[in-house]
Structure 1
Amino acid sequence: MVVEQFAFYKLNEVDSIITLGKLVKAQVIFLFGSKEFICNKEVFNKIKITYPNADIIGCTTAGEIFNDQVNDNILTVTAVYFESTKIKFLVTELTDFNKCYEKGIEIAKAIPVENLSHVFLIGEGININGSKLVEGVVDGLPEKVKVTGGLAGDYEGYKETFVVANDYGKKNLIATIAFYGEKIKIGFGSVGGFDTFGIERTVTKSKDNILYELDGKPALDLYKEYLGEYASRLPVSGLLFPLNIRSRDNKYSYVRTVAGIDEKTNSLRFAGEIPEGYYGKLMRANFNNLINGSIKAAENSITSINCEDIKLAILVSCRGRRVVLNQIIDEELEGVRSILGNDVIFTGFYSNGEIAPSNKNNVTEFHNQTMTITLIGEK
């Protein structure tokens, strides 16, 4: 396995990739960047000319990860060549927000399962029910096959996102790469770090990812009451105050981020499912816990991979973590670096949702407010 990587800070700099790019036999290219780069057809064509045999996957972001730094409005290009691993690339259009589970099943059924080792997925970041999509993919795949990835982000506060799927960025797409063979080795880890506070309440009225009532009271009113001075900045300020939900039997526990509000119905739209009958409790940031969570995610990813020659780490971190950590955001990347060492190449992005197996039961789930890491190596 061989990896090469470049970052471009201006559109005209991308011209140089044709001479810089040496790994012309690469099979996979990861592209993360701002809309200016991701949705530019000429930029995409230059990358495709440089790597003619590669499948190209990526998205817009709420921040690009390059080396140990978080960047804004740049393009990262990471080319990967596998010596012994086969891949299959799929692109799917999401045309009905209410059919995300069915779309997940459709994606899974389109993936041949013989010798399938892992699935990496990037999806539309706004017009989607992330938890339903992931649930469908998981239900359609063999139990032993794990899925990692995330949902595209943006700088505008849930306005629009774009996915690269062997073409310049477009809305409402889901791009999937399936990895095959015994030589490919994948590790993963996903950890949060927010603290709960206040009263735990029952979700008394919800539908899919829309929360209407907690303890019979309008959800938006309760959120505004708790948020105080931050209430006027909803839904963006909701990134600072996610909701922890758990099932009555404690079997399932998730963190969900506010993605939108509806003043007319006094409801909140979240990035993932809010099941009726679950318990909900607000969360707030703890700087040390967030950074320690990133370190723990790195430790878990190392533990789960049976490979000493790790070449690439794909870091997908929630946009809410970036808002909270702000000027010290690089510290969460430095924490990951302290565990993975200096030889592993970092790429990734700040997202509207993360995908990885749960720390509880190793079942792939949709997450918010986590640092989620996918390690890739080849034996």
Structure 2
Amino acid sequence: MLGSQGNYLWGEWIVKSAQQVLVDVHWQADELAELSALQPALVLVFGSMAFFEEASFMQRLQHCFPGAALVGCTTAGEITADGVLDDHCVVTALHFDGVTVQVAQSAVGAMEHSREAGVNLGSTLHPYHPQAVLLFGKGLAINGSGVIEGLMQSLGNDVPITGGLAGDGGNFKRTLVLSPEGVSDDRVVAVGLSGEGVRVGHGSFGGWSPFGPPRKVTRSEGNVLFELDGEPALNVYKKYLDVYAKDLPASGLLFPFEMLNADHEQVGLIRTILGVDEAQGSLVLAGDIDGDGYLRLMHANTNGLVGGAEQAAIATRERAGAHSQGGVAILVSCVGRKLVMGDQVDEEVEVVASVLGDDVLLTGFYSYGEISPFSSTTDCKLHNQTMTVTFIHEV
């Protein structure tokens, strides 16, 4: 059931059980009393920078949930069953009967340490044999693809990994991650879910349309793009953006790249720009790119993006199968989608809710990168400009 009380919303569903509270910047610890009574094993916290920067934020959460793993990050918008909000904090408590929750965290001091951080996470979780992993990381100065590859190196390719990179509105200045060790601007945190009773479904889809010719990647390193067709990548990109170029990197959210292989074939991945280097004429993308491949610009409209969200939800429900009733769904959508849809952004959350059903609790956030396997596999990738849905249920 869903109701309201004061300045927050709350809900109760079965995971075995979960509750959610939405608070504003003046939240008080007693507002979380109903969640604390659940004795949750895992508490997911997604909110704006104002919450995470508050000096007593972690201390108050620990007081409310002394036995729970506290995990989350800052956002570019918060997602609840009632739609999309800004400048709030969504706290979702999950109680399990037979599922073990194990948390690992690692520092990413510089972008080139991303893969190493993923290896560290996987090494910590591997002894617990997780059936699924939730991954949240800082949204800037990170190679999300590297973190995922390192994690899979330690865990193998058979464990589904889902989650997202933290946001900072559309400011691209600073993001924060919450782990049991506190709030930090240089962390990635992974939650391993172990036990025979845990069931996880996932789906990820975009809804963007390509335009313009494919451009050959002629120089790149990891997630840094230096040249397209032999020209500085930033110069090529600015030619396409025209009047939007002055607002980079934020305007890059409206025009991501579609990745193509050496034969000009789609590979199912989109890359968003997270930063620009005027001196080198390079673009910093959210994840790795194929140095032998091609890139093509993309754009979108609301109908296409809502349709993509629906496809992600359908894939999630199909993968969850008979266990798609009840449970919790974590929605991670790209901030670029939010900018394109504007006041209509609630529509993509509404369509996911309609597909999954009223008995599924929705939580999540708008991100700088989405983490999910392709819908038909457990091979995890960093996605951009997608709606990614993770469904968790205990049987």
Q: CA deviation at 1:200?
A: 0.6
Of the structure 1 ranges 86-95 and 110-119, higher mean CA displacement relative to structure 2 is found in 110-119
Alignment of 1:202-351 (within 5 A): 202-248=216-262, 250=265, 252-306=267-321, 307-351=323-367
Match of 1:92 in 2: 106
TM norm structure 2: 0.92
Query: Is 1:135 equivalent to 2:145 in the alignment?
Result: no
Number of aligned positions between the proteins:
378
SS in 2 for 1:112: helix
Of the structure 1 ranges 296-305 and 163-172, higher mean CA displacement relative to structure 2 is found in 163-172
Q: CA deviation at 1:109?
A: 1.6
Match of 2:59 in 1: 45
Give distance in 2, aligned partners of 1:47 and 1:362: 33
| Percent of aligned pairs sharing the same letter | 37
Query: Is 1:152 equivalent to 2:166 in the alignment?
Result: yes
Match of 1:174 in 2: 188
CA distances 1:32-61 after superposition (whole Å, capped 9, x unpaired): 111111232423222222221100000100
Match of 2:139 in 1: 125
The 8 Å contact of residues 325 and 359 in structure 2, kept in 1 or not, is answered as no
Match of 2:387 in 1: 371
CA distances 1:282-313 after superposition (whole Å, capped 9, x unpaired): 00113211100001100001111141443101
Give distance in 1, aligned partners of 2:73 and 2:113: 22
Q: CA deviation at 1:14?
A: 2.5
- Read off the aligned partner of 2:254 and give its amino acid letter: L
Consecutive unaligned residues of structure 2, counting only runs of 5 or more, are: 1-15
Query: Is 1:161 equivalent to 2:171 in the alignment?
Result: no
Of the structure 1 ranges 274-283 and 294-303, higher mean CA displacement relative to structure 2 is found in 274-283
Of the structure 1 ranges 38-47 and 329-338, higher mean CA displacement relative to structure 2 is found in 38-47
The 8 Å contact of residues 317 and 324 in structure 2, kept in 1 or not, is answered as no
Consecutive unaligned residues of structure 1, counting only runs of 5 or more, are: none
The alignment's C-alpha RMSD in Å is: 1.6
The 8 Å contact of residues 17 and 94 in structure 2, kept in 1 or not, is answered as yes
Q: CA deviation at 1:102?
A: 2.1
The 8 Å contact of residues 24 and 52 in structure 1, kept in 2 or not, is answered as no
Of the structure 1 ranges 150-159 and 242-251, higher mean CA displacement relative to structure 2 is found in 242-251
SS in 1 for 2:56: helix
CA distances 1:234-261 after superposition (whole Å, capped 9, x unpaired): 1111000000112225484420001111
The 8 Å contact of residues 233 and 283 in structure 2, kept in 1 or not, is answered as yes
Give distance in 2, aligned partners of 1:349 and 1:63: 6
Query: Is 1:2 equivalent to 2:17 in the alignment?
Result: yes
Give distance in 1, aligned partners of 2:178 and 2:384: 22
The 8 Å contact of residues 316 and 349 in structure 1, kept in 2 or not, is answered as yes
Give distance in 1, aligned partners of 2:162 and 2:376: 16
Give distance in 2, aligned partners of 1:263 and 1:251: 29
CA distances 1:123-165 after superposition (whole Å, capped 9, x unpaired): 0110100111111112221322110001000125210000000
The 8 Å contact of residues 38 and 168 in structure 1, kept in 2 or not, is answered as no
Structure-2 change in CA distance of 1:168 and 1:103 (3 Å): closer
Q: CA deviation at 1:23?
A: 2.9
Give distance in 2, aligned partners of 1:308 and 1:107: 29
Give distance in 2, aligned partners of 1:192 and 1:262: 27
Structure-2 change in CA distance of 1:160 and 1:56 (3 Å): same
Match of 1:63 in 2: 77
Structure-2 change in CA distance of 1:114 and 1:5 (3 Å): closer
Give distance in 1, aligned partners of 2:60 and 2:115: 35
Structure-2 change in CA distance of 1:337 and 1:180 (3 Å): same
Give distance in 2, aligned partners of 1:44 and 1:136: 28
Q: CA deviation at 1:275?
A: 2.6
Give distance in 1, aligned partners of 2:142 and 2:381: 15
Query: Is 1:191 equivalent to 2:219 in the alignment?
Result: no
Give distance in 1, aligned partners of 2:168 and 2:318: 32
Match of 1:101 in 2: 115
The 8 Å contact of residues 353 and 367 in structure 1, kept in 2 or not, is answered as yes
- Read off the aligned partner of 1:74 and give its amino acid letter: H
Of the structure 1 ranges 250-259 and 192-201, higher mean CA displacement relative to structure 2 is found in 250-259
Structure-2 change in CA distance of 1:165 and 1:280 (3 Å): same
Of the structure 1 ranges 279-288 and 352-361, higher mean CA displacement relative to structure 2 is found in 352-361
- Read off the aligned partner of 1:85 and give its amino acid letter: V
The 8 Å contact of residues 24 and 50 in structure 1, kept in 2 or not, is answered as no
- Read off the aligned partner of 1:166 and give its amino acid letter: P
Query: Is 1:355 equivalent to 2:376 in the alignment?
Result: no
Of the structure 1 ranges 180-189 and 134-143, higher mean CA displacement relative to structure 2 is found in 134-143
Give distance in 2, aligned partners of 1:235 and 1:241: 10
Q: CA deviation at 1:168?
A: 4.0
TM norm structure 1: 0.96
